[in-house]
């Protein structure tokens, strides 16, 4: 068993807390002594014990002289808002002999200082083991901790000819059940899901996690004129207090006050003359609410706004093998006239999901990862 083997296990453990640690990262840890795993742990929820500490406390024999694997650099800082004591000093006290990590922690309070502290104490530290795999696991964390902006993931389900619905708005279902299950999985992982008000009026979505186990995300609607009807699931089901409406109407608006009585959050944001709410302002507000990751589920006008302003990090397009012809286009005018201006996605991944294509890519992969990630 080599370092990669144990790191893979640490990543596997980290993943168990998907959806529960944000805005903290997913972290798993494994302690190995004499070729045997003697302790394991992961950061189970925001504010909870760090993975390294859980692993140490689960150890079935003394950890002195052992190797500790952890996908993220152990923390070393103690600042007032931090909920847990730093891990690096604990590893030193516990006389861990060797530490193997995948990624440096991009948090500027850590960012190599945890590694330095361990090395200064005589601990051997190996870095960049399965670094690329581990970084992707925490891509939303990477984005948020470095930019204080949520990681924005656009999810589009379309026909071969790029339509997300027929001309009269019919879109149930373009994707198959396997694709929808994957989307539910994403909802369980993302802090919030966002749709435009037209999607609410056409589809009346719940945006909940039903097809897989997992917790429900916050639900956000761009509704500049507050036209959402009383019977919309998003403001009438038992999760209405997880719904945030952004509107151009003043805080004091009568409809806004009505909606707040249901537990719905109604927040004001500026809009342009066409009634498009200012996405940058909205993302700033979401960041202040510690929403570190946002899954944008439609519709076409919303996708177009995000893409036109280049406000997205990742895009996933499910392409169903059907042709609709003129209808609702997935992405409208971006003001592009020459092909050289076309938005080329990075780190493309194409998968076949139950007879449909899933194309995924990043707007700017290096922007998210380069500062911290040696690829391997």
Number of residues located near its own copies, criterion CB under 8 A: 52
Instruction: Spell out, one character per residue from 254 to 293, where the chain touches its own copies: x when CB under 8 A holds, - when not.
Output: ----------------------------------------
Out of 108, 280, 355, 374, point to the residue binding its own copies (CB under 8 A).
355
For the CB of residue 315, give the shortest distance to its own copies in the complex, in Å: 8
Out of 103, 111, 140, 171, point to the residue binding its own copies (CB under 8 A).
171
Out of 21, 29, 158, 247, point to the residue binding its own copies (CB under 8 A).
158
- Contact, 67 vs 31, CB < 8 A? yes
For the CB of residue 53, give the shortest distance to its own copies in the complex, in Å: 42
346 Cβ contact partners less than 8 Å away, ≥ 6 residues apart: 361, 362, 363, 364, 365, 366
Could you identify the residue written with the tokens 């009438």? 236
The catalytic position among 4, 40, 52, 238 is 52
Cβ nearer to its own copies, comparing 34 with 338: 338
124 is an active site residue? no
Give the DSSP per-residue string, 254-293: HHHHHHHHTT-EEEE--B-TT--B-HHHHHHHHHHTT--E
Instruction: Give the whole-angstrom CA distance, residue 319 versus residue 299.
Output: 15
Out of 36, 344, 371, 374, point to the residue binding its own copies (CB under 8 A).
344
Query: What single DSSP character describes residue 66?
Result: -
Q: Does 80 bind its own copies (CB under 8 A)?
A: no
Could you identify the residue written with the tokens 């619905």? 165
For the CB of residue 362, give the shortest distance to its own copies in the complex, in Å: 10
Query: What single DSSP character describes residue 25?
Result: P
Provide the pairing of β-strand 356-362 with 314-320.
antiparallel
CA angle 338, 340, 344 (to 5 degrees): 120
Cβ nearer to its own copies, comparing 166 with 284: 166
318 Cβ contact partners less than 8 Å away, ≥ 6 residues apart: 155, 156, 157, 158, 174, 175, 179, 353, 356, 357, 358
Contact segment (CB under 8 A) with its own copies among 75-83, 90-98, 234-242, 357-365 equals 357-365
Q: Does 162 bind its own copies (CB under 8 A)?
A: yes
Task: State whether residue 308 is helix, strand or coil.
Answer: helix
Sites for its own copies among residues 192-221 (CB under 8 A): none
146 Cβ contact partners less than 8 Å away, ≥ 6 residues apart: 106, 368, 371
Q: Does 330 bind its own copies (CB under 8 A)?
A: yes
Q: Cis peptide leading into 299, omega within 30 of 0?
A: yes
Q: What is the CA radius of gyration of the chain?
A: 23
Cβ nearer to its own copies, comparing 254 with 339: 339
Out of 44, 334, 364, 365, point to the residue binding its own copies (CB under 8 A).
334
**Which uninterrupted H or E stretch holds 198?**
helix 197-203
For the CB of residue 81, give the shortest distance to its own copies in the complex, in Å: 39
Cβ nearer to its own copies, comparing 168 with 252: 168
Q: Which residues bind its own copies (CB under 8 A)?
A: 158-163, 165-168, 170-174, 304, 307-308, 315, 317, 319, 321-327, 329-339, 341-345, 348, 350, 352, 355-357, 359, 361
Residues classed as catalytic: 52
């Amino acid at each position: 068993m080599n370092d990669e083997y144990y790191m893979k296990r640490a990543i596997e453990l980290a993943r168990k807390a998907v959806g529960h640690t944000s805005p903290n990262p997913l972290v798993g840890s494994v302690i190995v002594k004499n070729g045997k795993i003697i302790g394991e742990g992961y950061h189970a929820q925001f504010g909870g014990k760090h993975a390294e500490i859980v692993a140490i406390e689960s150890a079935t024999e003394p950890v002195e002289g052992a190797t500790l694997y952890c996908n993220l650099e152990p923390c070393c800082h103690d600042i007032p808002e931090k909920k847990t004591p730093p891990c690096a000093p604990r590893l030193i006290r516990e006389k861990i002999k060797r530490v193997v990590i995948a990624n440096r922690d991009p948090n500027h309070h850590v960012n190599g200082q945890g590694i330095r502290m361990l090395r200064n104490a005589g601990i051997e530290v190996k870095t960049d083991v399965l670094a690329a795999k581990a970084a992707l696991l925490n891509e939303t964390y990477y984005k948020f901790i470095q930019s204080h902006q949520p990681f924005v993931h656009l999810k589009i389900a379309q026909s071969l000819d790029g339509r997300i619905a027929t001309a009269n708005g019919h879109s149930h279902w373009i994707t198959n059940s396997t694709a929808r299950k994957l989307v539910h999985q994403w909802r369980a992982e993302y802090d919030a899901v966002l749709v435009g008000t037209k999607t609410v009026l056409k589809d009346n979505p719940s945006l909940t996690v039903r097809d897989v186990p997992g917790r429900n995300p916050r639900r956000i609607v761009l509704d500049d004129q507050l036209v959402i009807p009383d019977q919309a699931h998003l403001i009438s089901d038992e999760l209405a207090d997880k719904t945030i409406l952004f509107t151009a109407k003043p805080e004091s608006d009568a409809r806004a006050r009505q909606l707040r009585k249901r537990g719905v959050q109604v927040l004001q944001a500026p809009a342009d003359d066409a009634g498009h709410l200012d996405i940058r302002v909205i993302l700033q507000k979401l960041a202040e609410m510690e929403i570190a990751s946002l899954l944008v589920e439609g519709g076409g006008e919303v996708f177009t706004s995000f893409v036109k302003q280049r406000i997205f990090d990742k895009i996933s397009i499910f392409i169903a093998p059907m042709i609709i012809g003129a209808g609702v286009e997935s992405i409208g005018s971006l003001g592009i006239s020459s092909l050289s201006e076309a938005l080329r996605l990075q780190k493309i991944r194409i998968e076949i999901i139950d007879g449909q294509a899933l194309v995924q890519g990043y707007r700017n992969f290096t922007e998210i990862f380069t500062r911290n990630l040696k690829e391997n």
